[in-house]
Amino acid sequence: MAAWNPKMEFMPREELERLQSKLLKALVHRMYDYSPFYRERMDAAKVHPDQIRTSKDVVKLPFMYKKDLRELEPERLFLASNRELVRYHASSGTTGHPTIVGYTQNDVNNWTESVARALASAGIGQDDILQVAYTYGLFTGGLGLHYGAERLGCTVVPASTGNSERQLDMIKRLGVTAIACTPSYLMHLGEVAEKKGIDFKRDTKLRLGILGAEPWSEGMRERMREWLGVKGINIYGTSELSGPLWCECAEQKGMHVWSDQTLIEIIDPDTGEQLGPGEKGELVVTMLLKEAVPIVRYRTGDISTIDVEGCPCGRDHPRLGRITGRVDDMFIIRGINVFPSQVEYVLMSNPELGNEFQIVVDRRGALDEMLVRVELKPESFQDNVAKLESLKTRIHERLKNVLSVSAEVELLEPGSLPRFEGKAKRVIDKRKIQ
Amino acid sequence: MDDRAKYRIKQLSIFSENRPGRLMDIARDMKEAQVNILGFTIAEGSGYGVVRMLVDKPEKAYEKLTSEGHVVKFTDVLAVKMEDKPGGLYDLTVMLKEAGINIEYAYGYRNHPSAVLILKVEEVDRAIDCILASGRTLYDTSHFK
């Protein structure tokens, strides 16, 4: 199956742009009429729905930030009543306050459609067996992939995360052909398999990996192909937008963003100016069909590029390049978003510690590792190793509670970390991601 | 002044990151300050160490080390004169155990013709009384000048 929805997927660019303009106009009118939040925003930005005539006019609309989603009460942000909502998902927040996103039935349907098209373009069809090894639950990965794959008619193994030996057993016994998980988890499975004497290439039918939720590199893609015989397909999405939405087609020249659902821009994160195709900047997303939580010019914080040239696969939908970094300091480790402010919050609640800290992220073997380096205050040093060790353990456990990810802690002498006059660089990411 | 005070030996405890050159820095500081190191040990934590030193000029050493940015604390320890013969340590520890005094840490060095055991205990004064009452000798601060 080359496409799930050939009519929409192969629609020529001019037609897509006309459709986008029509959808954007309708969206803006609907929000202005029904959302007090958006009406205030647009009034403040001195823009009226009548000024939005084509998709190019999107630049007149005000930006929407993560904090809007996090801080606003759902009833203020949502454009759907409880009766209309069919589901909630949530993402982790900076201080443990999650961003809650609601979905109407149409939202779920559109999300599912997007994933079905994405998987089909990557080469998955009715003959495939897809093991979904993303978490099922509030995290959007598991259910998002699950529904999309089922819609497509492929067989789904809803494995969720964990229990690598069982995952491998399923892959072998059921003849699983594709797996959806984080790239580091697939590499980890490779290591577990090797220890058990299982050769991915010889003993399994796995040929495709739908991989996302954390940054990964071309180098890793190459290693995966050689070592495991698995073609890695990059997938993108965030819970604010729905969940996983777009992935690379078989050509692997960027992720097709369906124009009949989404309008994407790349902007200069400092000036807010829209940048041209191929220029590197912050990804800004407008979801044209979302009902429950409208998303207009949402600043994702992800750094990427857009390619608008027609793809050899025949699709004219613009393609999103690999995410190469973040505008803020946020980083993703083992599929979990971590903000330095969360780490700071934990460290600063310990009076024994100084103000300076540094987070070092690296990849040892297949797994991400995080090291938190922090200075000890001179007055809290005591000639007692056991007490220093218990301080370390306390910080380690607290970080794990707040971040949901384990971090090694290193106590440093005061003054040993670099000082910054401007914005401090807290995160050193040593993972090789280009 | 309390007669026991002179037995409280001022040991320097230095917090040190576990990386190449850190001990060298401390040694250089001592050389530059013309301070002689008499006793020395490193307690190893994960990723850091606590350097413990007995020196001839503790105040001068403290000043130099802190001025170079080191984190330094004084810790009171006791210096017990040990007879340099088998069973010496055993007899002392039996005595401390019977007195219910716990040793936090200890290290020793040979000081011909006898030996010195450095003891870190919580109840320093009681330990001083016990050790002296048992007929043993404690070196006082003048011994480390």
Contact A382 B46 (CB under 8 A): no
Residue percentage of chain A with pLDDT more than 90: 67
Say which of A378, A385, A410 has its CB closest to residue B71: A378
Contact B44 A385 (CB under 8 A): yes
Q: What is the pLDDT of residues A23-61, one digit of tens each?
A: 999 999 999 999 888 999 999 999 999 999 999 999 999
B142–A contact, CB cutoff 8 A:
no
What is the model's pLDDT at position A93?
A: 56
Weakest mean pLDDT among A51-55, A86-90, A344-348: A344-348
What is the model's pLDDT at position A209?
A: 97
Please, how many CA atoms are within 13 Å of residue B93, restricted to the half-sphere of its CB? 10
Q: What is the pLDDT of residues B85-144, one digit of tens each?
A: 889 899 999 999 999 999 999 999 887 888 899 999 999 999 999 999 999 999 999 888
Q: What is the pLDDT of residues A239-271, one digit of tens each?
A: 899 999 999 999 999 999 999 999 999 999 989
B71–A contact, CB cutoff 8 A:
yes
Separation of alpha carbons A304 and A301, rounded Å: 10
Produce one character per residue of A75-98: b if its CB has 16 or more CB atoms within 10 Å, e if not.
eebbbbeeebbeeebebbbbeeee
Separation of alpha carbons B144 and A106, rounded Å: 83
Contact B17 A413 (CB under 8 A): yes
Say which of A378, A385, A415 has its CB closest to residue B45: A385
What is the model's pLDDT at position A396?
A: 95
State which H helix or E strand residue A146 sits in: helix A140-152
CB contacts of A411 in chain B (<8 Å) are: 45, 47-48
Examine the pLDDT at A94 and tell me if it is beyond 80: no
A389–B contact, CB cutoff 8 A:
yes
A413 phi, psi to nearest 5 deg: -70, 145
Examine the pLDDT at B77 and tell me if it is beyond 60: yes
B52–A contact, CB cutoff 8 A:
yes
Separation of alpha carbons A340 and A357, rounded Å: 10
A419–B contact, CB cutoff 8 A:
no
What is the model's pLDDT at position A434?
A: 43
Higher model confidence: residue A318 or residue A344? A318
pLDDT band at A346 (very low <50, low <70, confident <90, very high): confident
Distance from CA of A426 to the nearest CA of B (A): 20
Residue percentage of chain B with pLDDT more than 90: 80
- Nearest residue in A to B77, CA atom: A383
What is the model's pLDDT at position A130?
A: 98
Across chain B, mean pLDDT equals: 92
A413–B contact, CB cutoff 8 A:
yes
CB contacts of B69 in chain A (<8 Å) are: 413-415
ipTM: 0.86
What is the model's pLDDT at position A198?
A: 95
CA–chain centroid gap for A57, Å, is 27
